[in-house]
Structure 1
Amino acid sequence: MSAQPPLPSEKGQLAHPADLEAQHLNLLDNDAGGASLRRQISVQLSAEQFERLYLQPGGAKAKGDLAKRFGNPTPLGIASFLLAFTPFACLLMGWSGTSTAAAPTIVGAMYFMGGLGLALAGIFEWVLGNTFTSVVFITFSGFWLSFGFLLQPLQGIATDLGANSLEYSGGIAMYLIWWGVLVLIYLIASLRTNVVFVALFAFLDITFWLLTAVYLKLAHASFDHVPALVKAAGAFAFLGCLMGWYLEIVLIFDSVGIPVKLAVGDMSSFMSRRRRMD
């Protein structure tokens, strides 16, 4: 391959193409403000596009440029949550003739999908600076790990305390009460993300309170309306799962560039601070 011939410069002298390229890069690195133009070049997303990718309240973008170099971990977190929560909702509703007695069969999903998958997604969200989704994923990772441990037959917790005893059912009810409070906080925070996320947390919070009512009744040996409450909890849980599956489709489609625009209902401007009038 022959070397490229020198090119004439402004002063009439011959300049090598490599020198011209170096000068061009220097111009990019030194603009009038002293900052690198190359570092200033970025892709601008609309508020709705950003909410499709990063579910951060108010559309606050991740700090730094890690979001440009790393993948979006949100679909991983949502998929991990759904693959543990959807079968659980189906068991609560009694699909295929099953009941809550079949819950130990999905302990593996609770551990490895709900627990491990959500923990990894939460850590990745934290690295990107997405505080809200990081906290949601990691706390729900702890929920599935703790709930799976409770239902693990090898632990024998229900056998030792009695499946319908005050100690067993009452203890679970106290645990679920505070989860209902936490999800309510998440629900309020999600009012600055999108409509789908709000609906997911709303259905999820109702599910926690219905399950709390079930365990409180069992703790006091009151079995009236318990089957109906369990099915209602399963129905609201399944509605929440439908919201999650829809959001998962939106995120996956966007990640591969499928030209199908599915609405999520951007709410990033809701409850925003008013700008000061000059």
Structure 2
Amino acid sequence: MATHATVTPPSEKAHSAHDALDLESGPGIDFLDSKAGASLRRQISVQLTAEQFERLYLQPGGQKAKGDLAQRFGNPTPLGIASLLLCHTPFSCYLMGWIGTTTAAAPTLVGAMYFMGGLGLTVSGILEFILGNTFASVVFFTFGSFWLSFGFLFQPEQGIATALGATSVEYNGGIALYLVWWACLTLIYLIASLRTNVVFVALFTTLDIVFWLLATIFIKLAYANTTHLTELLKAAGAVGFLTSACGWYLLVVLILDSTGWPIKLPVGDLSGFLVRKRRVE
């Protein structure tokens, strides 16, 4: 992209500011900005490249920016994954009944849902957007919104379960439909992840199964059907824990890489999968 800039010829730069003042101060005369036609001061239009324009006007001292954004900023992906894990992993443990917990322990995670799942994922999504990582940005933004919405749902002060009735069709059926569409969205992410790495594919596969299991549980609750409910809850928790295991592995890979460890843990690169064929002209 070329940028136009006005450059005054060197011969005209030699004139003093006093000369300009005299011309402008004449009675009824405006030589520098003549109303009858073009200005008497000659202007030359010069085309500058985007890089030259940035060095002249946007970079103090004309210094060229060092590297690109990915080199000047840190990698926000570990923050997003850590924020997701610190909400998802405890919730999976509740579903499996660890330390005698049940889904009734969900309100204890409200703070984490807001500040880790919601805030942490949103911040990382913004940073991924700045770096131009569309897929990671969308995933982090949407799951940040998911944890914010669940935090709002489980916050005792909202009284949503009390207002609708925790065993009502409206409450359980509404959550079930919400989870069904999250399962559909996760399926889209799963398809997209086939071009990333094996660990991401496993993460989205297990997460999609979790959403379908949770949707099934709430559908059964909506119809007051409690058969095999405990087994379904534990199955959702176990599969969710597999999702967490994939996430924790990715987090370790990213953190070790950020500190320059010589050991490169494998993730199963799939960037060459379904590569678009270039048309030969």
- Pairwise TM-score range, normalised by the shorter structure: 0.7 to 0.9
Q: 1:230 and 2:233 equivalent? A: yes
Structure 1: how far apart are the matches of 2:239 and 2:64? 47
- Aligned to 2:194, what secondary structure does the other structure show? helix
Residue 211 of structure 1 corresponds to which residue in structure 2? 214
Which structure's relative contact order is higher, taking Cα pairs within 8 Å and 6+ residues apart? 1
Q: 1:70 and 2:73 equivalent? A: yes
Residue 35 of structure 1 corresponds to which residue in structure 2? none
Asked which structure has the greater CA Rg, the reply is 2
Residues 119-145 of structure 1 show CA distances to partners (whole Å, capped at 9, x for unaligned) of 000000000000000000000000000
Q: 1:97 and 2:100 equivalent? A: yes
Aligned length: 221
Aligned pairs (5 A) from 1:18-167: 65-167=68-170
Aligned pairs (5 A) from 1:10-25: none
Offset at residue 260 of structure 1 (A): 1.2
1:258 to 252, 255, 261: 261
User: Over aligned residues, Cα RMSD in angstroms?
Assistant: 1.8
Structure 2: where are the runs of 5+ without partners?
Answer: 1-50, 53-62
Offset at residue 202 of structure 1 (A): 0.3
Structure 2: how far apart are the matches of 1:210 and 1:138? 23
Residues 78-115 of structure 1 show CA distances to partners (whole Å, capped at 9, x for unaligned) of 00000011000000110011111111011111110000
Residues 247-273 of structure 1 show CA distances to partners (whole Å, capped at 9, x for unaligned) of 000000000001111000000111111
Structure 2: how far apart are the matches of 1:122 and 1:180? 20
Residues 167-194 of structure 1 show CA distances to partners (whole Å, capped at 9, x for unaligned) of 1000000100100000000000000000
Residue 273 of structure 1 corresponds to which residue in structure 2? 276
Q: Show structure 1 runs of 4+ deviating over 4 A.
A: 38-42
Structure 2: how far apart are the matches of 1:71 and 1:150? 34
Structure 2: how far apart are the matches of 1:75 and 1:119? 13
Offset at residue 277 of structure 1 (A): 4.4
Aligned pairs (5 A) from 1:244-255: 244-255=247-258
Residues 144-163 of structure 1 show CA distances to partners (whole Å, capped at 9, x for unaligned) of 00001000011111111111
Offset at residue 275 of structure 1 (A): 2.9
Which amino acid is the alignment partner of residue 165 of structure 1? S
Structure 1: how far apart are the matches of 2:263 and 2:272? 24
Structure 1: where are the runs of 5+ without partners?
Answer: 1-28, 31-37, 43-64
Offset at residue 40 of structure 1 (A): 11
Structure 2: how far apart are the matches of 1:245 and 1:212? 25
Structure 1: how far apart are the matches of 2:184 and 2:73? 33
Residues 2-43 of structure 1 show CA distances to partners (whole Å, capped at 9, x for unaligned) of xxxxxxxxxxxxxxxxxxxxxxxxxxx99xxxxxxx97996x
Structure 2: how far apart are the matches of 1:229 and 1:99? 13
2:197 to 182, 194, 197: 194
Structure 1: how far apart are the matches of 2:161 and 2:263? 48
- CA 1:40 to 1:120, structure 2 compared with 1: closer, same or farther past 3 Å? closer
Structure 2: how far apart are the matches of 1:167 and 1:140? 24
Give TM-score, length-normalised by structure 2.
0.76
Residues 40-61 of structure 1 show CA distances to partners (whole Å, capped at 9, x for unaligned) of 996xxxxxxxxxxxxxxxxxxx
Could you tell which deviates more after superposition, 160-169 or 138-147? 160-169
Q: 1:182 and 2:191 equivalent? A: no
Give TM-score, length-normalised by structure 1.
0.77
Aligned pairs (5 A) from 1:1-16: none
Which amino acid is the alignment partner of residue 232 of structure 1? A
Which amino acid is the alignment partner of residue 194 of structure 2? L
Structure 2: how far apart are the matches of 1:188 and 1:40? 37
Which amino acid is the alignment partner of residue 167 of structure 2? N
